[in-house]
Amino acid sequence: MLKNIETFMAKPEPYAPSTAKFWDDEHISKGMLESHLNPDWDAATRKHAFVRQSVEWISKAAPVQDYRTLLDLGCGPGIYAELFHKAGYQVAGLDLSERSISYAKESAETHGLPITYEVCNYLTLDYAEQFDVVTLINYDFGVLSTENRAKLLAKIHTALTPNGLFIFDVFTPNQYSGLEEYKQWEYSQNGFFSAEPHLCLNSFYRYDEQNTFLQQHLIVTDQDVKCYNIWEHTFTESELSRDLDHAGFKIKGLYGDIAGAPYDAAGKTLCVVAEKQK
């Protein structure tokens, strides 16, 4: 077991993958769904009061009379999607988690909501000019590698109708300002990553030249060692402008968060409304 742990002691290369599944792990996905559904937790989904503010603002930034169809990437159990439907959009939702999508479908059926849900990796999107708005909420854009971000932007550009909008939020480098690299451990009988007794070795790594950061979690049980690498790329305004322009988008608006707060260059978060160019 010690040899297995030793494998992970060196600082990982940027965007090194996890060694175990995350979104569809039976135990982890159960905890994620509970987090999504708790209205007072600011974790998997924002606090639900903030979610409602976000949907209200997005419905002003992309008025439903002009932008009828909406694709919510990373929709989870459908919390945003149901509110988007209530605001008047025709909604489709995609997510990697089978458990979350199963919940979303059941909720839509129970309430008679014509929302389409599908388990899907964003990078395999295959839509052509089908949506007026695409949303990617809760900083999910930053978890992708540089290559995969470019791939996703191309997929979204193809999926949008002419002059369609891509609305998403990211962290800025200020999010991790002053936070030093560390390693720490904790023992748990039943934690977020495992229902078995386990040792959790947590590490934080900085890749400042790339504005990229890693939260690594090694879960050590009697049976094995699992590694979960949670990557986060942070963005400057100039980088976003460059990448979006290269993908065929033009920034229509910058905001402090996904609920339309005023843009602050010193802030930790940034929301972008990008318009597809013909």
Q: In whole angstroms, what is the distance from residue 97 CA to residue 30 CA?
A: 10
Average pLDDT, the chain: 94
- The answer for residues whose C-beta is within 8 angstroms of residue 172's C-beta and 6 or more apart is 234, 235, 236, 267, 268, 269, 270
Beta bridge pairs of residue 35: none
In tens, the pLDDT along 220-247 reads 998 899 999 999 999 999 999 999 999 9
Band of residue 1 on the pLDDT scale cut at 50, 70, 90 = low
Q: In whole angstroms, what is the distance from residue 255 CA to residue 261 CA?
A: 6
Q: Where are the domains of the chain?
A: 26-172+235-276, 173-234
pLDDT at residue 114 greater than cutoff 90: yes
Q: In whole angstroms, what is the distance from residue 96 CA to residue 74 CA?
A: 7
Q: How far is CA 104 from the centre of its chain?
A: 17
88-102, 186-200, 251-265: least confident range: 186-200
Band of residue 135 on the pLDDT scale cut at 50, 70, 90 = very high
CA distances from 99 to 29, 57, 96, 184, 272 (A): 7, 29, 9, 31, 29
Q: In the numeric block, which tokens belong to residue 35?
A: 């987090």
Tokens 């318009």 belong to residue: 275
pLDDT at residue 2 greater than cutoff 60: no
Band of residue 23 on the pLDDT scale cut at 50, 70, 90 = confident
Beta bridge pairs of residue 163: none
Q: In whole angstroms, what is the distance from residue 114 CA to residue 85 CA?
A: 8
Tokens 């090694």 belong to residue: 218
9-18, 73-82, 124-133, 154-163: least confident range: 9-18
Q: In whole angstroms, what is the distance from residue 23 CA to residue 28 CA?
A: 7
The whole model's pTM is what? 0.94
The CATH classification of domain 26-172+235-276, taken from the options 3.40.50.2300, 3.40.50.150, 3.90.1200.10, 3.30.460.80: 3.40.50.150
pLDDT at 141: 97
pLDDT at residue 36 greater than cutoff 60: yes
